[in-house]
A and B are shown apart, each in its own frame.
Chain A
Amino acid sequence: MDVFRPKLVSQTNLTRFHSDDYVNFLQTITPDNSASYVRQLQRFNVGEDCPVFDGLFEFCQLYTSGSIGGAARLNENQSDIVINWSGGLHHAKKAEASGFCYINDCVLAILELLKKHQRVLYIDIDIHHGDGVEEAFYSTNRVMTVSFHKFGEYFPGTGDVLDVGYENGKNYAINFPLNDGMDDDSFKSIFRPVIGKVMEVFAPSAIVLQCGADSLSGDRLGCFNLSLKGHADCVEFVKSFNVPLLVLGGGGYTLRNVPRCWTYETSVLLDTEVKNSLPYNDYFEYYGPDYRLHTPVSNMENLNSKSYLERTKIQLLEILGNIEPVPSVAIQTGNTGTPINPATTKIEDDGNYDESNNMSNKEMEAADADRRESKGEMILEE
């Protein structure tokens, strides 16, 4: 694994998603001068959940730089997987801070990936709905957002199963609303089929995975009951598709559990086994009394019945079945060395496979298949 200190992105880069006046405001505001910006503070929702603190703008720049820099690295084929645990602040809106997030680095990273990739998939396993990202790409079919979250009297209040996108983006926003007490088995039983189907019908060439650790058992704000293994199973499954992957952090408010989770997921992404007993480190006392990596889950009740999960899963699979196998805009050529999608290599097994042109080959294949058969037959065949 290579470690990078991100180079700070400029203010202009942040305005690729956010409005100029909002970014200007974030740059100007300090705890000392905030009294003279009362109107803007209200307008941009900076205050309670998203307080003004020293170095606020540099903080935003830091975490955003890691995500945009990581996306750029994926674009340049210098990495297959990029990790930025500082990022994943998915609630921020175009001109509004929300839910501890000021700048939406997920959106900016996806915008960077869209420079090269025709279709980008965003997966969100934070306990909160990834509303900022969904909103940003609600009307496009080039980005599919998939969020698994607690729904019902819970921040931010959005993410109903019926919110599926708008116009071109219809059916390209997938939401799995959940109740308290999700455990490993239940989560696995919905995550794998839904993401498997998404990969099949959407075939993204890059994935952004937001790994908010507040869906873990015992989180200060969360109410799920996932263990580290259940959480990391999602990472492992997404990794198994061998598509360029940007892994981001996100929520996570029980201080001793977040490092456990993200360290374990780092090891999963590196295919490295780690011992259960924690090595000595600068913050060793935080991990007492057991000093182990894996902690037990609680005995809380799982309020998600099997039938509810099954029903919602089928509902989402139907929505996914409605989308065209390959979205509208055809890409002309891929760059040399575009990471090969495993699905593509399978199709092109006859030796005529042209690596430098794999995207257009794939598009042609799909278009051919479309002409030959009706959509319904294709789904049956798959």
Chain B
Amino acid sequence: MNFGYSARLDAVDIRSNKLTSVSSPISTTSYFYDAEIGNYHYGQGHPMKPHRVRMTHNLVVNYQLYRQVRDLAQVYVHAYDLFVCTPLCLLPLNIYPSLTTNKRTT
């Protein structure tokens, strides 16, 4: 059965600066979360609150227990702007390696 991880794994690969094959083992811990889960509501006064999972995730994020995928998107935007806004002759020759080894600030 295929759960279709490939798109996500690509992103993760780049994040950890490893542009290797998608199936290679990357890290030891994975975390599953869908932001939709916190929107469901059992009804007024019901003790079960899916919102708690969203609160947990928010706390995990703010403790910086993982580096957000959103940050990665910003790296892309930055690199793209650099590429588009710089005259071609001024671009360093190693621009492509620099995209892949670009160290993110934590």
B56 touches A72 (CB 8 A): no
Inside 8 A of A347's CB, which chain B residues have their CB? Answer: none
Contact digits for B28-58, partner A, Cβ 8 Å, 1 yes 0 no = 1111111111011111001111111101111
CB distance from B83 to the nearest CB of A (A): 27
Scan residues 231-267 of chain A and give those whose CB is less than 8 A from a CB of chain B. 249, 252-253, 255, 258-260, 262-263, 266-267
B59 touches A53 (CB 8 A): no
Residue of A59, A252, A286 touching B40 (CB-CB under 8 A): A59
Inside 8 A of B31's CB, which chain A residues have their CB? Answer: 1-4, 82-84, 266
Among the 9-residue stretches B2-10, B73-81, B84-92, B94-102, the one with 4 or more Cβ atoms under 8 Å from chain A is B2-10
Residue of B1, B51, B58 touching A281 (CB-CB under 8 A): B58
CB distance from B43 to the nearest CB of A (A): 5
Of all chain B residues, the one with the shortest Cβ separation from A82 is: B30
Q: How far is the CA of A66 from the CA of B37 in the complex (A)?
A: 11
CB distance from A90 to the nearest CB of B (A): 13
Most buried by A among B30, B57, B64, B65: B30
CB distance from A309 to the nearest CB of B (A): 28
Question: Total A-B residue pairs with C-beta atoms closer than 8 Å?
Answer: 176
Q: Within 8 Å of chain B (Cβ to Cβ): is A312?
A: no
Inside 8 A of B33's CB, which chain A residues have their CB? Answer: 3-5, 66, 84-86
B30 touches A73 (CB 8 A): yes
A279 touches B26 (CB 8 A): no
A7 touches B4 (CB 8 A): yes
A263 touches B25 (CB 8 A): no
Q: Within 8 Å of chain A (Cβ to Cβ): is B19?
A: no
CB distance from B58 to the nearest CB of A (A): 5
B50 touches A85 (CB 8 A): no
A70 touches B32 (CB 8 A): yes
Residue of B1, B3, B27, B51 touching A2 (CB-CB under 8 A): B27
Q: How far is the CA of A260 from the CA of B47 in the complex (A)?
A: 17
Of all chain A residues, the one with the shortest Cβ separation from B47 is: A253
Q: How far is the CA of A3 from the CA of B53 in the complex (A)?
A: 14
Instruction: List, sorted by A's number, 20 A–B pairs whose CB atoms are closer than 8 Å.
Output: A3-B32, A4-B5, A4-B8, A4-B32, A6-B34, A67-B32, A78-B5, A78-B23, A86-B33, A252-B52, A259-B56, A259-B59, A262-B56, A266-B56, A266-B60, A267-B63, A270-B29, A272-B65, A279-B63, A281-B61
A51-B43, A51-B46, A283-B58 known; 20 new pairs, CB 8 Å cut-off, are A2-B12, A4-B30, A4-B31, A65-B32, A67-B32, A69-B32, A78-B5, A78-B25, A78-B26, A81-B30, A83-B31, A86-B34, A100-B47, A253-B47, A253-B48, A255-B52, A259-B52, A263-B63, A263-B65, A279-B64
Residues in A lying within 8 Å of B, measured CB to CB: 1-7, 9, 13, 51, 53-56, 58-59, 62-63, 65-70, 72-73, 76-86, 100, 220-221, 249, 252-253, 255, 258-260, 262-263, 266-267, 269-270, 272, 274-275, 278-283, 286
